[in-house]
Amino acid sequence: MQILVVEDDPDIRLTLEQNLGDAGYVVCSAGTASDALRLAESWRPDLVLLDLMLPDRPGTEVCRALRASPATRSVPVIMVTARAGEDDRIAGLEHGADDYVQKPFSMRELMLRIEAVLKRNRPRETAIRIDSVWAAAREQIRVWDGFSANHFERGEWRECEEICCTILRRYGEQLTPPEIAVFHDRIRRCTDKVGVGATDATHDGGSSQHR
């Protein structure tokens, strides 16, 4: 897991880098809003630890920019700040932050919050991966179905049957019941055609022997 630390205080930034690294995270850091946005776009972190008060732009504006970009809108953000007011916490959450940690913070508490936020976001990532796998499978089914139909039209029964069996074996879970029925029907018809061909060949062989 990759974490982008955005903190202008070099001592706090170094402490976070060391502790997150010891916990097994890959860490990249920035001390300004502009560097943070550039790194977020190019590095694609799994989580951003974002200080509210930065020298060039407020952390709330960084959070809003992250949410506005298609590349980073789904990346979870934890706001970190010395401000204790309720308005500050609400402002961070309204701009898209997933959690809020007040300085000075316990490193153990911060680690637990990071783990909790990452855990909440994993189902979304899994769903995206599943959708992409399903889409790829559907495209493969479409292509192979075309090959199967072409073989059937040309009377290439064995090739058609083999492709249909492969589709059912590999992509059965992605097929709808009507599609499964179509492939089974095509296999049956190919099998019948192959059987007829074999019978005709037997008869021809028998006739030639009598002649």
Query: How do the domains of the chain map onto residue ranges?
Result: 2-105, 129-210
> Which pTM value belongs to this model?
0.58
Q: Using one digit for the tens of pLDDT, what is the confidence trace for 88-138? A: 567 667 778 888 888 888 999 999 999 999 888 765 555 555 566 777 778
Angle at 27 between CA 24 and CA 36, to 5 degrees: 155
* Of 6-15, 95-104, 135-144, highest mean pLDDT: 6-15
HEC per residue, 90-128 = HHHHHCCCCEEEECCCCHHHHHHHHHHHHHHHHHHHHHH
- For residue 107, the cross-strand partners are none
Task: Find the length of the chain.
Answer: 211
In the prediction, which pLDDT does 104 show? 85
Average pLDDT, the chain: 83
User: What six digits make up the tokens of 203?
Assistant: 């008869």
pLDDT band at 83, cuts 50/70/90?
A: low
Q: Which of the listed ranges 14-18, 91-95, 118-122, 146-150 does the model predict with the highest average pLDDT?
A: 14-18
Task: Look at domain 2-105 and name its CATH class.
Answer: alpha beta
